[in-house]
A and B are shown apart, each in its own frame.
Chain A
């Protein structure tokens, strides 16, 4: 209590209190009272320390009220107009412009050696508190790097299997064609019946793709029937010479078939 009163440099209250404590201590005969006395001494010495501090700062008296007024002046206060605020009772009148602190800031910057904040020009990640943000960025970069390294290895594997898949498909289609012919020789299959998958346009295109291999390799051939519709039949493995000439003849023909989704439907 009465802390402020004791701090007042002009008061001797602290000294008086200490003197009284000394007198009282003579009458002490119980430990509890001695403890209270010790507590009092701690508080007293803290106050004493504060008083000493205040003495030091008063050496070159600094009038903070005058400083505040000069600051307001610097910030462009207009003292002729009265600001309509509810706390204008204890504040000197005057209108502080909205850029007051801007003005102060402009001046203030000259006194600081502040590192300009660094920002990416194009922006990178969403702005968030830097600590978690940095960790996320770093982790993303790290994991992305690893993912990319894994990718080329994977792709290579896919490519190889892709080739095999095509060959397998082609063989499969050949076998289907041959089986069909075994069951029903001399009846060529309509090309469209053969390749078209009524449920999938993509599958249809794939089938055509695979059939084209068969044609290229001379394992099947496409002819036009009486209705000018293409039919497909497997080529019979025959004598070398004949095959060669036929393969030779076949090889010179190219056909472009176009099929879009509407036609397919």
Chain B
């Protein structure tokens, strides 16, 4: 049962969409419902010890899980597909912008910023295709970003924040380090962000 669950989780994680407990119960555990937590714990341990991956429950109410890497990425070793790499590039840029602007930005502000990088919501991008879909749907579904409507706005506006996956896979400290590197400054240059990052 445990190895079935491990395989199930690994395959389900391909699209980086969080895995629901309901799916686990239905497809893997089935009749062994009572042993659910035991099986999940054991699977978690296997993932950790064999693959160096961590099974994290990001929503304790709706019971959804993601897989993250326990190990820091080592320099220069990547077998990563280009599409994935490019998306992560865009994502990091967005996460940095959100953090540096106080953890929450309006969608109009975000698109204004991406405009400067030649990324437009209404225009098909050479690399990302439908960027609006990528940012507002894919990244949100994968829990990298969280979007909430701003009340009493017409036409409705949204605000963007970090999603639970972003919180787990990276940190404010890492992101601040990135920004500092890009701008050739010391992270302490931005005092409040620096203290918030707990660095």
A: residues with CB less than 8 A from B are 42-43, 46, 53-54, 56-57, 59-60, 62, 64-72, 74, 87, 90-91, 96, 98, 100-119, 129-131, 134-135, 138
Q: What chain A residues lie within 8 Å of B174 (beta carbons)?
A: 111
Question: Cβ of B170 and Cβ of A71 under 8 Å apart?
Answer: no
Report the Cα distance A131→B73, complex, angstroms: 28
Check if B25 is an interface residue, CB within 8 A of chain A: no
Which residues B66-88 have CB closer than 8 A to chain A? 67-73, 75, 78-80, 82, 84-88
Q: List 6 A-B contacts (CB under 8 A).
A: A102-B89, A104-B90, A106-B89, A115-B51, A118-B14, A134-B11
Closest beta carbon of chain A to B3's beta carbon, Å: 13
Q: A57-B101, A111-B175, A129-B15 are in contact. Are A101 and B69 (CB under 8 A)?
A: no
In terms of DSSP, what is the predominant structure of the interface of chain B?
A: helix
Check if B113 is an interface residue, CB within 8 A of chain A: yes
Check if B35 is an interface residue, CB within 8 A of chain A: no
Question: Cβ of B152 and Cβ of A130 under 8 Å apart?
Answer: no
Check if B10 is an interface residue, CB within 8 A of chain A: yes
Interface size class of B (residues with CB under 8 A): 35 or more
Question: Cβ of B23 and Cβ of A111 under 8 Å apart?
Answer: no
Report the Cα distance A115→B90, complex, angstroms: 18
Report the Cα distance A197→B42, complex, angstroms: 67
B: residues with CB less than 8 A from A are 8, 10-17, 23, 26-28, 51, 53, 67-73, 75, 78-80, 82, 84-93, 96-97, 100-102, 104, 113, 115-118, 120, 126-128, 151-152, 168-170, 174-175, 177-179, 182-184, 189-194
* Selected contact of B85 from candidates A64, A98, A106, A135, CB within 8 Å: A106
Q: What chain A residues lie within 8 Å of B194 (beta carbons)?
A: 60
Question: Cβ of B117 and Cβ of A130 under 8 Å apart?
Answer: no
Question: Cβ of B101 and Cβ of A114 under 8 Å apart?
Answer: no
